[in-house]
Amino acid sequence: MTNRKMFFTMLWGAVFRRRSRAMMAVIASLVGAATLFCLASVCVAVPQQMNEEMRAYGANLIVTPASATGKSQGIDTATVRNVTALVGAGHSVKSAAYRYESVRINSAPYTIAGVDVKAVRALNRHWNVTGDWPGSGNVMVGRDVADALGVKVGSRVTIGYRAADASASASSSASAKSDSDELTETAESSAQGTQSTQTTQGEQTTQATENGRVSSDIMDNNGTEFRIAGIVDTGGNEDSIIYATTADVSKLAGHERGADVVEYSVNAMGDELNAIVNRINKNTNTAVKAQTVTKITSSDTRIIAMLQTLFWIVSLVVLVLTLVGVGTTISSIVSQRRNEIGLRKALGADSRAIGVEFYVESGIYGLIGGLLGTAIGYVLARVLCSTVFGRALGLNWLLCVGSLLLSVAIAVIASIPPVRRATRIDPAIVLREE
């Protein structure tokens, strides 16, 4: 019998003659592999799944005109298409454009947004709308507007447009919706525009009230009558805005122009999302400014960071427990085979051959446990993703290979201390005890 054949014969006997001990080592590796694979699969899948779920809560990136001229003219359709192509390169994306104008209802100032209803509805699935969305001749008002006017679904309001009110509406609305520190300059320029408009209006008001009479322009309630189709309640800035179709806003204002804000919900986050922003801002041909919506992106980052931290903590605990479990089992096997080891050394077997046999035996336990544990871990991860996110989890083959290799490595590393003790057994002492 050759040495190689003898080696495998002894290895086979060592594994299958001591089934109870071998089963304990396999179970220890199985539990570790199942837990680690399940956590790793969820940790890899959760950011993507969560990013998709968070997209239901609105945009994570907005685009506004970069120059004063652009703010007055808005973002034209061609520019919107170019920016959308930049944002959507390699990512799924939803977008909606908003045109803001200042209007008056019962002499009080309000902001009206001209929108593509289908696009806004798809982008903002979290909006709580009572009634219907805007349509031709129908508007949707925010909860704060409805409460201030004392109206409900089905009521009719007269909306008046004055060109003097419109100069500051676009940029101020953009600043309100972005919730981003990067819009400081935009907000400042909006404030300057507002101040200039107010100064002009103040001069007009002073002239109109010289004889103690109130300006008829201020008290002018003429306009276009609209039916309130619905009321939107989000708890945010949307509650103070009136929404109408883009065609109705253009007709009300008497002219057409581009969007003041384009919102994007892109399937990207963190550095990947920042790279998209930088790519847009560096493109001088678009003449727009992009920034992330910090309220959404910070929530994504914080939750994912917490999950990853939990993953590493649990993984560390599982690794330690697996090392202890496999190491204890191998120590028990070495103790049982102490006499056999002493006899083999007395017959001329060297310590290296004995150590290799034990390392291979531990590796087999790790491989079997890793195979079973990876399968069980995948089932658990699939059930977890299906239950929490309602989505199927694909099998990550790279993660499977990593799980098997890690299981074998942990089993071998855990066997090092007991194997070193086995190779130091003095055959003379062992035989004397016999």
pLDDT tops 60 at residue 194: no
pLDDT tops 70 at residue 8: no
- Return the amino acid letter for 427: P
pLDDT tops 70 at residue 299: no
Contact assessment for residue 105 and residue 148, using Cβ atoms and an 8 Å cutoff: no
Per-residue pLDDT band for 371 (boundaries 50, 70, 90) equals: very high
- Helix orientation angle between 351-389 and 3-17, rounded to the nearest 10 degrees: 50
Listed in sequence order, the DSSP H helices in 337-396 are 338-346, 351-389
- Residue 384 to residue 375: CA distance in whole angstroms: 14
pLDDT tops 70 at residue 106: yes
Residues forming a β-bridge with 197: none
Which residue in 245, 10, 296 sits closest to 139, CA to CA? 245
Which residue in 355, 145, 330, 387 sits closest to 243, CA to CA? 145
Residue carrying the six token digits 């968070």: 54
- Helix orientation angle between 338-346 and 294-336, rounded to the nearest 10 degrees: 60
Contact assessment for residue 45 and residue 392, using Cβ atoms and an 8 Å cutoff: no
Name the more confident of 36 and 214: 36
Average pLDDT over residues 225-245: 94
- Residue 101 to residue 259: CA distance in whole angstroms: 11
Give the percent of the chain with pLDDT over 70: 76
Residue carrying the six token digits 């190779």: 423
Query: pTM score, two decimals?
Result: 0.61
C-beta atoms surrounding 44 within 10 Å = 16
Average pLDDT over residues 215-242: 82
Minimum mean pLDDT among 42-46, 99-103, 120-124, 170-174: which range?
170-174
- Residue 9 to residue 14: CA distance in whole angstroms: 9
Average pLDDT over residues 243-258: 93
Contact assessment for residue 330 and residue 419, using Cβ atoms and an 8 Å cutoff: yes
Q: Which of 210-214, 245-249, 340-344 has the highest mean pLDDT?
A: 245-249
